[in-house]
Structures are given as C-alpha cells and as structure tokens.
Structure 1
Amino acid sequence: MIYLDNSATTKPHPEVLKSFQQVSDKFFANPSSIHHLGGETEKLLLKAKQQAAQILQVDPEEIIFTSGGTEGNNIAIKGIALQHQGRGKHIITSEIEHPSVYEACKSLEQLGFEITYLPVDQNGVVSIEELEKSIRNDTILISIMHVNNEIGTIQPIKKIGEIANKYPKLFFHVDHVQGLGKIPVDLKRYGIDLCTMSGHKINGLKGTGILYKSKRTKLFPLFHGGEQEGNVRSGTENLAGAVAMVKALRLIQERQKNEKNKLYNLQRYLREELEKIEGVEINSPPHGALHIMNFSVPGIKPEVMIHILGEQDIYISTKSACSSKHLDESRIVTACGLGIERSKSALRVSLSYDNTQEELEIFLNKFKKAIQQLKEVME
C-alpha cells in the first residue's frame, strides 16, 4: 500500500497506541472521583497537561484537551463570539479556511455577527494590508489558519499576530492542525491567543486534540456540566486520549527537528516530476508547506483518478476529507482565482515523514498511465 493522504489522517504510531492501551487498562477511573484511583487518574491528567505545556512552551492551565480540530475551532470561535459579543460582533477570517472555521463563522452570521472573509492571492495568501484595513472598533476576533489543508499555503501568522497585538481587546485564533509537526510556531512570541491542534494528523489517534487558550482569553463554554478543563469543556476527560495526544506531540516534534530535509527532498522531487507531465497544472504555491501538493488535470474527474489509483493500492485525495464527499469544485482553488476547470479537477498528495521516494516513483508512474488511459477513453 502507498498511502499519500496524510492530511486527511495519519497512521497511528505504535508507541501512541501502546500508551493509549496502558492508560485505558490501568487508569480507567473518572478523574473527578474522590477515591484513590480517581486521584491517581487526575494526577496523570495533570502530568499530561504539564508535558504538553512544556513541549509547546506555554503554561499547563493554558492547555485544554479536546476531541480534535473541529471541536477546537468551534470552541475557540463561538466561545469568543458569545463571551465578547457585548462589545462587538465583527469577526475577520479568510475565504480559504477549513470547513470547521468557515462554517462556524457562517453559523454566527445567523446570530447577528458580521464576518469579513478576506480574499487571497493566487498563492492562497491573505493581504496583511487588507487585514489591517478590515479591523474595526467592534472587531473581537481574527481567525486565520497557519497552513491550508488543501493547497499548503503558509499564512503570515507572525505578522498577523503583531497587528492583532496593537488592539488589546482583539483576540487572535490560529488553526494549526496542518502545520503541527511540520512548521514550528512560537505561541507566545507570535501573539496567539487561541490555537487548535489535532492528534490524528500527527500519527496520533482520532478523537484527540489540544486547544491552547492564553491566560488572558475568556471563552463562553459550548458545553455545560461538570466544569472540567477549566470550565471550558465539560465532560469526563478522555485521559487515555490525552496521554496519547502528548505522546504523538512529542514524537512528531522530534521528527520535525530531525527529518525536515527528507520532507523537503520528497516535495521537491514530486513537484519537479509533476511539472514534466503534460496537462498537469500545479495549484500549490512554490513556497508552501512541505507535505502538501495540490495539482489538477483539467478535463479529468478527480474521483475517477482516485478510483483508478485506489484499485492499485495507491491512495490520494481531492480536497478536505471533511468536504470531499461533495463532488463540486474546490472552494479553496476557486478562491485563488485558478479557474473552474482546475478547481473541478484538483487532486491532493499529502506526505508524512514515513513516505519514501520509491513510493512517489511508483505513484507517478501509475498516475501517468492513468492519465493516458483516461484520455484515450475520452477520445
């Protein structure tokens, strides 16, 4: 099997699975229980927070364990909106956000919030000047992703953070799901108030994640109940998931440090070879994230290509896994102004540190044959 859909999900690391199993077996008590076993479970939960905070260079009370990116983004965006609507109902985001940000903002429009969706250039990058001009007295939140999940654009979040910091009553949220383990972020130095991370994108488990919430940031909780996670996310904590998330975080940070060149070489090889194939248009920017490559073959339906490759045990994708069942054009490619034909035929290869050049060689060979085969059928 050649798996090239790592931006949708990654294969769990054996050590992550082992840690989940061990904690599930030995520390199964409710951390809120007052008996000894509950106390031991709570201690492990606090230790997991301390370890996550150490890795991310923040304070333990700024770590909230979640079920992943969608929940983290919704808690951050709606939590700010509902808590601070008394002094403003204006939010700034971009046209190419992940559905869990984009649709969360759309839902707030129904509650009377006004959303500015910043346009992007051909590379998918927002304009710093346009962003700054969009800030108003009633702006309470800027939510901009770090790395785009479809085309790999890296947004200038450090510069955005510097701008946001000029406005003390304005909060800055970053969806860091695709950047985690690939591109380092200094949460404190970049002026980020809220940052979303997901376990299953970094060889962790589905249903695990972290929301970083700075000490100054107050959120209205979306769940009410037992006041867990600093009264931001009520519900019995998924301790085994939290420990597994921290394990995945530690492992991916090590790989980011030691194997960045490997990912760079794989991406460079893939881009160079795709550029040689007649009829292929590359949608990913030249200086985007190293693990994402988006390209189109205008005239060929992406689902047909994915099916042909899948029959040969090669797995790629179209767009966000959260919206890939909708077989219309890519909202992201369209927003970049690359045209409807490229938008309707966009494909995505997303790499992990485990992929090899040999796998890419096989994929490219099968991909070229598939293009030829489909063109012959169309003739």
Structure 2
Amino acid sequence: VMAVNNETGAIQPIYEIAKIIEEKTKGKRKPFFHVDCVQAAGKIPLNLKASGIDSASFSAHKIGGPRGIGILYLAKELNSFLKGGGQEKNVRSGTENLFGAEAFSLCLEKYFISERNASAEKRFEQQKILTKNFIKKLKEIKGCVIIPHCREDEKFEENFSPWVVQAAFPGIPGQVMERALSENGFFISTGSACSSSHKGRPVLDTMQLSPKEKESAVRFSFGFSTEEESMNELIEELKNICSQFL
C-alpha cells in the first residue's frame, strides 16, 4: 500500500490497515504487509514502529538526495531468493553505494518529520497553509476542478499530503498545459514519472473520472525550497493560460 499516492497526494490509512490485518489473521498465517513510503518520508509524519508493518521502501531523490539510492526497511530479517555475496545482510548482493547511502542518511536527518526535528515539523506546517491557500485560489480559476473532488472541501485536506495537488482544466489537454507552463519556467507533470511509458492513468481510471477530466488532469508538486511567491506566480500564469483557452 502506498502511504501517500504519488498522483493525488491521498494519504492511505496504513496503521489502520496493519491493525486490521493483524486482528483478522490472529492465530493464522499473517500476510506480509509492505508500505511504499517514497512520497511519505520527509513529507508527512511517519511511524515505522507501528505494529503490523513488515517492510517499507524509500527513495532519496524525493527528499533532496541523489537518484539511484533507496532504503528497504524490514521489521524482521527475511530469506532472499537471490544468491551471491554477503552484502546488504544477504538480501541484495553487489557493490554498495556508500556515498549515496551517506547522502540519503543526511537528508533523512534534515527532513524526516518528527518531534526531534523542529525545523522539518515547522516546514511541514507551513506547507499545509501554503497548499490550502493554493487550492483555494485554484478553485477560483474558471473551469478548474480539484482531483479528487472531495479535496475541494477543506475538511478533507488532512487526508492529503500538502506537497502534491492534482487538478483538471477540462478543455485544456494536460500536455498543452504542461508545455504552456514550461515555456514560462513552471514544471508540472501529467502523470507519474515512474510509469511514463504507459499511456493510461490507472489511478485516475480507478477513480472513474470523466474522460475530459482525465485528459486535462495535471499534477503540481512542491518541495522544501518552494516559496509562497512562486506558488502565487504559478496561479497567475494558470489564470493567464485558462483565459486564452476557456
């Protein structure tokens, strides 16, 4: 289960899921529960000590680290199907990326949100406010639709990561919006970079959006260096583009 969906920013109830799995399989063989934390580490508070989470995966590039280095967390050791050297506790053989591992550890120390990291907590709370205002201004743009629709209601915002916002502009294909913004220095996406070779949008398909919404849906992603001024400039550029097409 993804702790945070990479397209919509929806936060999944991983702790509740882990608890239900344990309760329903008490006295039986428990399924192995893996959590994809790539969009969660350094983005929302995260507790891997929660009972029932067997493993979790992380990627450094999502929190300012280098590409090509990740972490697999294991609550208990497991036997690997791969054979070879004894690196990575016999789970994965091959030359270890020591520089990448060191860089990732420093990024986690700097950005992982916890009570012991006041600066990361402060930045997280700040981004929640910035994104709340960003969504409010998005809704004022003619024709704009927030995806999923329930996020238009402020009471549901706590169920979403403040670093990812999905919106649709029916009448303006996502690729057109992407190129128009790119020409002015704003870089957004029309889907997941992890599956750029696939033409479909599985997440949006599952949500049963209308064809016009799926065609025009784009994703806005924010980072630790994103400033309020830049977000406001993005809103103004969106208004300008929409006035030309809608």
Query: TM-score, structure 1 length as denominator?
Result: 0.58
CA distance in 1, matches of 2:127, 2:54: 30
**Counterpart of 1:250 in structure 2: which amino acid?**
E
Q: Does 1:178 align with 2:39?
A: yes
What residue is the counterpart of 2:104 in the other structure? 245
Aligned-CA RMSD value: 1.6
Q: Does 1:204 align with 2:65?
A: yes
The answer to whether residue 5 in structure 2 is matched with residue 148 in structure 1 is yes
Please give the per-residue CA displacement for 1:171-221, whole angstroms capped at 9, x wherever unaligned: 110001001112222212242101001100001110111100112x52434
Contact 2:142 2:242 in 1 (8 A): no
1:293 correspondence with 2:165:
yes
Amino acid at match of 2:191: K
Shift of 1:325: 4.9
Partner of 2:78: 218
Q: Per-residue displacement from partner, 1:345-378 (whole Å, max 9, x unpaired)?
A: 1111111121111101111111111122234xxx
Q: Aligned residue for 2:184?
A: 312
Question: Residues 48-67 of structure 1 correspond to what in structure 2 (within 5 A)?
Answer: none
SS at match of 1:314: coil
SS in 2 for 1:303: helix
2:127 corresponds in structure 1 to 263
- Determine if contact 2:66/2:104 at 8 Å carries over to the other structure: yes
CA displacement, residues 36-82 of structure 1 (integer Å, 9 cap, x when unaligned): xxxxxxxxxxxxxxxxxxxxxxxxxxxxxxxxxxxxxxxxxxxxxxx
| Percent identity between the two aligned chains | 38
Q: Is the 8 A contact 1:263 1:352 kept in 2?
A: no
Whether 1:194 aligns to 2:55 is: yes
Deviations 1:304-361 (A, max 9, x none): 11111111111111111122354x4422122112222211211111111211111011
The SS at the match of 1:366 is helix
Describe the SS at the equivalent of 1:212. strand
- CA distance in structure 2 between the aligned counterparts of 1:203 and 1:264, rounded to whole angstroms: 19
Who is 2:194 aligned against? 322
Question: What SS does structure 2 have at the residue aligned with 1:211?
Answer: strand
- Contact persistence 2:44–2:124 (CA under 8 A): no
The one-letter code of the counterpart of 1:353 is F
TM-score, normalised via structure 2 length: 0.88
Secondary structure of the structure 2 residue equivalent to 1:322: helix
Cross-structure match for 1:159: 16
Superimposed CA distance per residue, residues 156-181 of structure 1 (whole angstroms, 9 cap, x where no aligned partner): 11111112223343211000100111
- The 5-angstrom pairing of residues 1-379 of structure 1 reads 144-166=1-23, 167=25, 168-215=29-76, 217-221=77-81, 223-253=82-112, 254=117, 255-284=119-148, 285=151, 286-287=156-157, 288-326=160-198, 328-375=199-246
Alpha-carbon contact 2:19-2:51 (below 8 Å) kept: yes
- What is the one-letter code of the residue matched to 2:214? S
**Structure possessing the higher relative contact order (Cα contacts under 8 Å, 6 or more residues apart):** 1
Segment of structure 1 superposing worse, 337-346 or 202-211: 337-346
Indicate how the Cα distance of structure 1 residues 185 and 278 shifts in structure 2: closer, same or farther if over 3 A, else same.
same
SS in structure 2 at match of 1:370: helix
Give ranges in structure 1 of 5+ residues lacking alignment. Answer: 1-143
User: In structure 2, how many angstroms separate the alpha carbons of the residues matched to 1:324 and 1:293?
Assistant: 19
Q: Tell me if the contact between 2:169 and 2:216 (Cα under 8 Å) persists in the aligned partners.
A: yes
Contact 2:171–2:245, Cα closer than 8 Å, also in 1: no
Q: CA deviation at 1:276?
A: 0.5
Aligned residues: 229
Greater radius of gyration (CA):
1
Instruction: Decide whether the 8 Å contact of 1:198 with 1:209 is kept in 2.
Output: yes
Please tell me whether the aligned partners of residues 329 and 344 of structure 1 are also in contact (alpha carbons under 8 angstroms). Answer: no
What SS does structure 2 have at the residue aligned with 1:295?
A: strand
C-alpha distance in structure 2 between counterparts of 1:219 and 1:182, whole Å: 31
1:225 deviation in Å? 1.8
